Amino acid sequence: MNAPVAGKAYDDGPCPAVATVERRLVLTALVAYLVSAVPHLLFDAGHLAPLTAASAAGFMALLGVAVVLPAVLLWAAAREDTGRTRGPEPERAG
């Protein structure tokens, strides 16, 4: 196998780090996104005066979805992660 070089593929195909998604990477990406999306939502919520009521409502709905959806995905990914560390369920005596 050749040494990795920027812009070049491995002998075995594309870079394995790109081809596989780890839970840790997903959690990190979602947190990083939310760190910028929440302040963006709050800033824009305070600057709606130039918009009509309908435009402001639609704008806030879209920005709200852009915060709520990643938050739900983060919760689901974190919950699934903690479920895996508990180990197998104990067998019940029957």
42 in a structural domain: yes
Q: What is the pLDDT of residues 31-86, one digit of tens each?
A: 999 999 999 999 999 999 999 999 999 999 999 999 999 999 999 988 875 655 55
Mean of pLDDT values over 4-12: 54
Establish if 76 belongs to a structural domain. Answer: yes
Q: Which domain holds residue 27?
A: 21-82
**DSSP codes joined into one string, 53-93:** HHHHHHHHHHHHHHHHHHHHHHHHHHHHHHHHTS-SPPPPP
- Cβ-contact 48, 60 below 8 angstroms: yes
Number of structural domains the chain divides into? 1
pTM of the model: 0.63
pLDDT at 26: 86
**Would you state the structure tokens that stand for residue 2, as one six-digit string?**
């050749």
Residue 77 lies in a domain: yes
In a domain, 91, yes or no: no
Q: What is the pLDDT of residue 23?
A: 83
Reported confidence tier of residue 24, pLDDT bands at 50, 70, 90: confident
Is 33 a domain residue? yes
Q: How far is CA 62 from the centre of its chain?
A: 17
